[in-house]
Amino acid sequence: MSVKEMEKYRNYACACGKIHDFSGEVISGCGAINELPRVLKEKGIRRPFIIADENTYKAAGAQAAELCRAAGAEPTEFVFREKKLEPEERTVGLAMLHYDYAADAVIGVGSGVINDISKIVAAVADKPYIIVGTAPSMDGFASATSSLTREGLKISLPSKAAEVIIGDTDILAAAPMHMMLSGLGDMLAKYVSICEWRIANRITGEYYCPVIADLVRRALKKCVDNAEGLLSRDKAAVQAVFEGLVLSGAAMKYAGVSRPASGVEHYISHVFDMRGVEFGTPTELHGIQCAVGTLIAARLYEKLEEITPDAKKGAAYAEGFDPAAWNEELRTFFGRGAEDMIRLEQKEHKYDPAAAARRREIICGAWDEILAVIKEELPSAESLAALYDRLGIPKTVAEIGQPAEILPMTIRATKDIRDKYVLSRLAWDLGILDELAESAK
């Protein structure tokens, strides 16, 4: 799957019942940043507001500003000075306080955090958005959401989809290797996200689109096929990973939800991020955390394949579940971020006995189908671990600064992060969540 094939998904009336549309322009390849003057002239942009950090400004921001001036535009700039930039209230507010209200477009120069912040600024200002990528490190280039921490809870906030995405392979290939591996890690997470999307569709009736799922699978295959080329900074491999990340973000926009690109592995990463904001504990790049979460999920799904669902066990587990006691565990583990999680359950009622009983009935009746989906979508944990070894991707929470003893609670808490049906919810319905979570250590 290449970005050129995205053309057929412009205003595409899909059999799933939705109109899939991605109206943005993707410019990738060596020297792609030199297309910026043309883009500005075609869109009539005269005063772009450029957002970068010190590293991304050196990598491409200064060049982007000069190219803007070459197009006859008058750019204004805001460059974050923080060494470790986080996507949260303060940094979004800082960017807005520096925003040039005479600007007629926003240009983000960077990757994950810069892109998330810049998309929110563009959405609030209601201006066109252009992203100049500096590292193939995450899948948010084409999405219309931003991932950030609000009041201690990791959320996905509607924001501005890019009208133009520029991925200059010369710039991307010079990015730190750790960031490139992060991008690959974010793509590897799609094994789990597509698997869980299909399972959720079967158990809860959640919307699912096979066309979008296939798009993500093909983008993922392209990334994995080129993965080892990243180590030598092979530009074809770098471009393949970048385009895979763009396609993954486009899939989220087609679906109107993040489901095609994130599942329990992302929630494991969100737990680490939330605790990092609240307690100052270590965090890693998003894609690296997702890679570790993907391997954990693959191992847990293998354990799930060994069980036989028992409706009575699930019912007894649900009956003995104490929501008030669980809420106190969440407060201890997350601090202030727990409150939004608790409020979410007050709206969602996933622990409602009748709803849980209906899910258990479906699970028990469709268990062979669920197992078939797991086998079809997930590689073995052994093959994933071997790939990580070849590339130098961390495999354990200890390697990314997380103590192994928090892993069981991390797994248990993923069912409350957002309102998606993921592995931990399936395990809760089966009455085996605690034992499955303990086995992850």
DSSP state string for 325-371: HHHHHHHHHHGGGHHHHHHHHHHH-TT-HHHHHHHHHHHHHTHHHHH
DSSP annotation of 212: H
CA nearest neighbour of 191 among 360, 374, 390: 374
The DSSP secondary-structure symbol of 5 reads G
Model pLDDT, residue 292: 98
Q: What confidence score (pLDDT) does residue 6 get?
A: 67
Residue 39, classed as helix, strand or coil, is helix
**Are the CB atoms for 123 and 97 separated by under 8 Å?**
no
Q: What tokens does 409 get?
A: 């609670």
pLDDT given for residue 22 in this prediction: 77
- Pairwise CA distance, residues 380 & 252, whole Å: 26
What integer pLDDT is reported at residue 119 of this predicted model? 97
**CB under 8 Å to 310, separation ≥6 — which residues?**
430, 431
The whole-number mean pLDDT for each consecutive block of 10 residues of the chain, a chain of 441 residues, reads 66 90 88 97 98 98 97 97 88 96 97 95 97 94 88 86 96 96 96 98 97 93 92 93 90 89 96 94 95 98 96 96 97 94 92 95 98 98 98 97 96 95 98 97 82
The Cα–Cα gap between 158 and 377 comes to: 29
- Closest by Cα among 336, 220, 252, 224 to 18: 252
State the alpha helices, DSSP H only, in 173-225.
Answer: 177-188, 190-204, 210-225
* Phi, psi dihedrals of residue 128, rounded to the nearest 5°: -60, 150
Report all structural domains of the chain as residue ranges with CATH numbers, in order of start.
3-177 (3.40.50.1970), 227-438 (1.20.1090)
Two tokens at 357? 């009983």
Hunting for tokens 């750019």 — which residue is that?
A: 75
Could you tell me if 408 and 187 are in contact, meaning their C-beta atoms sit under 8 angstroms apart? no
**CA of residue 105 relative to chain centroid, distance:** 25
What is the structure's pLDDT at 373?
98
Please give the Cα distance from 177 to 182 (Å, whole number). 8
